[in-house]
Structure 1
Amino acid sequence: MRITENIWNNPKLDAIDDPAAGWVYVVSICLCSAALSDGHFSPRSAVRRAGVDQSLAEALVEQGLWHLPGHTCPRCPQPARGQAYVHDYLLHQRSRAEVLDLTRKRREAGRLGAAARWGTKPPKASAMADAIENDGIPMAEKRRGEETPPPPPSVDAGRPSWVEQLVADVLAIREDWTAEAVTRALRRPQVRDRPPELVARTMLLLATDEATDRPSRLSANHGFWAQARRELVAAEAGARRRRVSPVPPHLPVDDDAGGCARCPLPVTHPVHDNPED
């Protein structure tokens, strides 16, 4: 949602002898933006939420900032019965289609960035429970009642933990989630005993799934756990092939002698199993 900094100087608002008119006008834009309604809203709801008198709604209509059904503005569509329309809404605000497309692109960018970051195991993640303690004391040490000495200085000092990084990556994909909700999902007993790299990949899959409305779904039994496990296995296999192969994966060309005409490796070499070209 975009509001210009000089809205206070709008001559149509200035013509209304009540500064609260600007407030209810902004509320109407907020309602349209939240509902992705392309400028259509309920004037009764706007007045109630703004806590102003109904006379201000009438003043906004009179000044042409709101349109009721049957209006004569050639640039604005007709609202449905009981609804109103914010004048020139789509000239200043993004349309529903634009918002959805921008959200999709942001999620895809976040997904690609997270996938690049989490293609391998998170650094120094020996156990989920040890990584998410607020005070930094592993649970195993607490159970034994031992005092844990402070960790020695490290080159990683000052860098975010892998859990903090995961939360940041998830929020880059899902702007409608909160850091607190994601962290609570990671702390659930059904989650923190699983391998950290599997938890990270599954959480990222949930974040890119439009049907998933909350991060707490991570603790449920669903197909994303299996999908994440398959992706991790495939990623490790690909990394292993790249480590042992002198050439990139490709389609083999049989040279009639059991070898590949495109490289010095036999056609049975793993480099030919899952070609990238």
Structure 2
Amino acid sequence: MGDTYIKLNDALPEHRKIVAAGGDAGWLHVCGLAYASRNLSDGRIPIGMVPRLSDRKQPDKLAKKLCEVRLWHAVGHDCDRCPQPADDEYVIHDYLNHQRSAEDVSAIKEKRAAAGRRGGSKKAANTKQRATAGAKQTSSNLLDGSYVSAEANETPEAEEVLRTSQTEEPLRGSQAEAKQPQAAAGLPQHPAKPTLRAVTDLDPRFIAHKLLDEHIDACRQRPPRDVLQKTGEKIDALVAEGIEPSDIRKALALLRARPRLGPGTLPNLVHEARSEPADESSAAARPGRSGQNVHRERGAGAAIAEAFN
């Protein structure tokens, strides 16, 4: 429904002026009221619009009948309560005494729009505040391995994931041999924290959100919103695929170190981060890359990556 409407007394059909003018003229009067309200004309009706107001025959004759019974006025009328219309207009008698003026309608529209803006701003602020508070709490817990969602805690599967993730992972080879003397000596044993992969299986959205926040904080200047949106989509896809957060961090560090690259290269950077050799000597030995270039390229990415590990 629109913002404009007209008010009619329920006794209008029996009003003496309507009875005198006739039913067709009375309907034209109602259509004229609707036109003036819809167009915010304060009761003025162009003479050329009269034939288009209703489907009744001989509309010009009906308009003159309305003027005779003083429901409408033509130019030169003697009613001291109504303004004078232009030569090509009619004016409805006492229009502003019963209907809203154009100024009133505009003021109401502005008040409604202002109230809507205030309500929308307040809602957005509350939503942002709740999201920020929740993200800070859950994302920090996620990355130190201490978070399991409330919904997850209520399921036996989640309890099993948390219970099994808190036990130490089995060691192999030399690591197992090195661990045995420590246990035999009675030194304190510290259970491993829940693995990020186990938590990611429960709710990967929080990890993706945290990784994006870290990336934004590490940028010297905040990237444009469109770039952040595409970066977030790539991070979401990588986390959903089961890529380790540490690998995604390294890829984001490489992305920051190479500003010419776009968010679409993030999967390639993950692959590159995984393929990087353990030390610089082996990287320098690869054909086609000098040790100096490798040192400079790895140094920029590794320095940023270490800051978030």
Looking at secondary structure, tell me which structure has more helix per residue. 2
Q: Higher relative contact order by CA 8 Å / sep ≥ 6: 1 or 2?
A: 1
TM-score range, shorter chain: 0.3 to 0.5
Name the TM-score, length of structure 1 as normaliser.
Answer: 0.42
